[in-house]
Amino acid sequence: MNLQQQEQFEREQASRTLPPPPAPEPAPGRVEARRLHFLSEIDRQTRAGSFRQMLRPGKRWSLALGTTVASVAVLSLGSGSPAAPGKVPPASAASVQLLERAALVAAAAPQTKVRAGQYTYIKTVGHTSVLSEKKTGEMELLRQVEDMEQWTSVDGSAQTLQRKNGVDALLPGTSGQGTLNSPTYKLLDGLPTDPQALLNLIIDDAEENHGAGSDSTTGPHQEAFVTIGDLLRNGGTPPDLTSALYRAAALIPGVDIVPDAVDAVGRHGVAVARTLDGERSEWIFDENTMRLLGERTVLVEDNAWGKAGTVVTSVSITDSGIVDEAGQRSYGRVLPRDSALRR
């Protein structure tokens, strides 16, 4: 099978796996012209020995040409042939197409006007797993409920209010606008919206704690994938940044899709995923609206946590938005402190 036949096969496979994109495809002639330009650019950059430069700001060839060309781009970069031993392959064509659809939907969402004194609100339902040692010395896997509501000051001027199991807690204040691991809306609103520049920033941050010389086994790419997932379910991420985060994720090696995944409240969707050390991290999307439903971690190999197929953690987003005060839900109701929130 030659390269063009391989590309056609991959694209047909992706189209059968995913629902049709919400945006129209470019005209065939335009796609082919851009494809040829893209391939010639790869050849030029390869001869110059600067492949990485091609993916820097201003050179986002794999994502700037629309969903069809995005798939062609990834195939041209290596999906048509196996990766070198020890090398993680680029994001799959199907995952790039799905992430581009999610980015287009996010970019079309209205921008909420945010003012000082407001809060980002997020409500999640789910569980995590913990290992507990029994009196016999055996390890037992326990499921721990992680239902939560949280209100975070948009500018970091007030403490975060968290409601868990019907109990309120004020979390320690964040320094200034927060960090990538604990951001305020103000910090998010100031992040770059160029996908490669955004990914560079996230990876640089991950390198400090998960790069060479650290004790981390996660590694910068997996940590970047996890960080992006956390930012996406922040509760009030600006639409343009949400769009950029999806496109940044498409630049991470090893990203793929799971055609059918179920979130913590039983909703089926299609997932963008990345696997490391026998664990697959998934972001689950509604196949029709491309709305992010939640995240989960699934074992793909037997280990101390359980058999392959075990869902170790699962969190669903059930409500989110910008609200005027801590304790207010996105549809306007304010609940008293310390009230029981279980339904």
pLDDT digits (tens, 9 = 90+) for 95-107: 999 999 999 999 9
**Number of separate domains in the chain:** 2
Residues in the chain: 343
- Is residue 332, in this structure, part of any structural domain at all? no
Residues 124 and 65 in one domain: no
Given this model, what pLDDT does residue 133 score?
82
Distances (CA, A) of 75 to 141, 249, 280: 41, 17, 23
What mean pLDDT comes out for the span 2-17? 53
Mean pLDDT of the chain: 77
Residues 65 and 133 in one domain: no
First to last CA, the chain: 56
- Which residue, of 53, 76, 91, is where some domain finishes? 91
Residues 30 and 86 in one domain: yes
Amino acid at 131: L
Given this model, what pLDDT does residue 176 score?
73
Residues 191 and 316 in one domain: yes
Least trusted range by pLDDT, from 29-43, 100-114, 225-239, 265-279 = 29-43
- Is residue 97, in this structure, part of any structural domain at all? no
pLDDT, greater one: 45 or 231? 231
pLDDT, greater one: 57 or 31? 31
Q: How does residue 45 score in pLDDT terms, banded at 50, 70 and 90?
A: very low
Residues 15 and 86 in one domain: yes
d(CA 285, CA 130): 26
Q: 82: domain range?
A: 3-91
What mean pLDDT comes out for the span 67-91? 49
Residues 248 and 284 in one domain: yes
What mean pLDDT comes out for the span 312-341? 74
What mean pLDDT comes out for the span 288-303? 95
Given this model, what pLDDT does residue 40 score?
44
Residues 80 and 186 in one domain: no
Residues 279 and 221 in one domain: yes
Residues 43 and 155 in one domain: no
- Residues with Cβ within 8 Å of 305's Cβ and at least 6 positions away in sequence, in order, are 129, 131, 141, 299, 312
d(CA 237, CA 230): 10
Residues 165 and 263 in one domain: yes
Encode pLDDT of 115-173 as tens digits: 999 999 999 999 999 888 888 888 888 889 989 999 999 999 999 999 998 899 998 76
Q: How does residue 235 score in pLDDT terms, banded at 50, 70 and 90?
A: confident
- Is residue 282, in this structure, part of any structural domain at all? yes
- Is residue 114, in this structure, part of any structural domain at all? no
Residues 180 and 319 in one domain: yes
Tell me which residue of 265, 270, 279 sits closest to 316, measured CA to CA.
265
- Is residue 96, in this structure, part of any structural domain at all? no
Residue that is written with structure tokens 């600067």 in the block: 50
* Mean pLDDT comparison of 9-18, 89-98, 122-131, 325-334, highest-scoring range: 89-98
The answer to whether 150 and 289 have CB atoms below 8 angstroms apart is: no
Given this model, what pLDDT does residue 267 score?
96
- Which residue, of 91, 109, 139, is where some domain finishes? 91
- Is residue 343, in this structure, part of any structural domain at all? no
The answer to whether 249 and 225 have CB atoms below 8 angstroms apart is: yes
Residues 141 and 66 in one domain: no
- Is residue 170, in this structure, part of any structural domain at all? yes
- Is residue 339, in this structure, part of any structural domain at all? no
